[in-house]
Structure 1
């Protein structure tokens, strides 16, 4: 029987390898960036943000034993990049409210982090930090955005397979990612001890899937899709 410490070590390695796979869409996005439409370019910048900040978060955890504040910054920036991608994808008049929604979310998240949840104390005193409401609000916004996109897909007649549409591929990846992490967020108090490492390794595999789908989307986005029959028609 393998030793428990060996299992934990290899689960950690699996998690780090899956996290490092963000390099796949980053390289693909940078290679084809000039040929991508605006929505996909926003996702390239999002991948770059993930790479820089999450790498720094891993370093901060190793060097100082404290990466509080880093992942919270990721959680604030992420909806802006992804929201920008869907702002240039959705064809609904109320998309003009996206910047306002983003500002409200940012203000509420900062209020939660620093007033309700004590992020500053967690940073200065190297405490375990967990926000109260900001993460759940982010999941609601992101999943809601994806559902709006899928509703738009259903309302239009597509001349080709949706799996050849870059934003559809991306949206499937995001939906798998956000639903998986939402389940982890809602049940994290039930997961204790070594099982946490197993769960995070599984989440790493979900990240790997998302990164592969992002890279495929950038590959598909090199050439503009044919015009969509019925696009832009009001419901």
Structure 2
């Protein structure tokens, strides 16, 4: 069987674009997400190119993560590439006005979820002494900004986990790549602003934001380098973006 990639948060945005890029490169897909109907549609779409299997779970639910990944058929258990893409941003307010439920959603999804999925996948990579883990952090994990303290903290944790994984797993032949996108036009802002479409739209006005396909290209590049090369960290900004919160709009 060709290489097998497991992608979390595969039903939209960067995850879906990465699945497309991988399928075009003949990498078989384990697509994971919460929306079973969408996963079914993606399976039908990608099955004309590669072998596809879907797993429905929320990365925040430890039991669901381990049960789902353990349920993979034997021929799918040797995962070559893990893309930890699932994550979220909830709310945009000063720390003193923050909603604790929003904090829990971000910490549980962006940090705990990444850990749960990684824990379920890493042992077989260690046993085989090969594998590649790609973690999606954010430029927010490199530079904190006002009204985003907890989100930035969760993505800074992803940065630290990527570095820590590299220390622990390089000796086992496992590559670790951290991808930190800037302003990507996805449902990110719509979720952050609780479905306020007008407010979310304004985030991307006046400049050309990164598209999910651009991030997928970076992921594809990182997993296709020669065996002797590890791409440790990639930062992607929109051309008009100089820093997480510095965007030159027309």
Shorter-chain TM-score: which interval? 0.3 to 0.5
Greater Cα radius of gyration, structure 1 or 2: 1
* TM-score normalized with structure 1 length: 0.32
Q: Normalised by the size of structure 2, how large is the TM-score?
A: 0.31
Higher strand share: 2
- Which is helix-richer, 1 or 2? 1
Q: Which has the higher contact order (CA 8 A, sep 6+)?
A: 1
